[in-house]
Chain A
Amino acid sequence: MSAQTLPTSIDHRRPICIPWLMIYSGCVIIFLIFPIVIILLFSFNSSPSVSFPIRGLSLHWYSEIIKSQVFLQALKNTMLVASIVTLLCIMFGTLAALVLTRFRFRFHNAIQTLFFLPLSLPGLFIGISLLSFFVSINFKLSLGTVIIAHLIYTLPYFVLVASARLEHFDHLIEEAAQDLGCTSWQTFWKVTFPIIAPSIIGAALVVFALSFDEFLITFFVIGSESTLPMLIWSMMRRSIDPRVNAISVLLMLSSTVLIFVVSKFVDISEIKL
Chain B
Amino acid sequence: MKRIQVCVDGVTKVFGEVTAVNDLMLNVEQGQFLTLLGPSGCGKTTLLRMIAGFEEPTKGSIFINGQDVTYVPPNKRPSNMVFQRYALFPHLSVFDNVAFGLRIKKVNENEIGKRVERILDLVQLQNFGKRQIHQISGGQAQRVALARALVNEPQVLLLDEPLGALDLKIRQQMEVELKLLHAKLGLTFIYVTHDQEEAMTVSDRIVIMRNGSIVQDGAPEQIYSSPANSFVANFIGHSNLISAHVSSLEPVILDFLGGSFYCHEIPGLYLNQEVKVLLRPDVIAIQHDSSKNEQNLLAGQVIDATFKGSYMDYLMEVAEAHLNVHYPIRNDTRSFSIGDRIFLSWLPENALILSS
Contact = CB atoms under 8 A, between A and B. Distances in A.
B75 A176 contact: no
B281 interface: no
Interface residues of A, number: 17
A170 B83 CA distance: 11
A109 interface: no
B73 interface: yes
Interface string B133-175: 0000000000000001100100000000000000000000000
Contacts, number: 60
A193 to B, nearest CB: 10
B101 interface: yes
B16 interface: no
B83 A172 contact: yes
B87 A176 contact: yes
Contacts of A175: 54, 74, 81, 83, 87
Interface string B70-87: 000111000111011101
B80 A179 contact: yes
B87 A172 contact: yes
A186 B100 CA distance: 12
Nearest to A172: B87
A180 B80 CA distance: 7
Contact of A186 (B79, B88, B91, B104): B104
Interface in A170-190: 170, 172-173, 175-183, 186, 190
Contacts of A181: 75, 101, 104-105, 152
Question: Which secondary structure dominates where chain A touches chain B?
Answer: helix
A53 interface: no
B152 A180 contact: yes
A176 B88 CA distance: 8
A182 to B, nearest CB: 6
A155 to B, nearest CB: 26
A178 B89 CA distance: 12
B89 A179 contact: no
Contacts of A194: 91
B90 interface: yes
Interface in B250-307: none
B85 A179 contact: no
A168 to B, nearest CB: 11
A206 B149 CA distance: 40
A190 B74 CA distance: 17
Contact of B148 (A170, A172, A178, A180): A180
Pairs of residues from A and B, 5 with the lowest C-beta to C-beta distance, nearest first: A180-B101, A172-B87, A181-B104, A176-B87, A194-B91
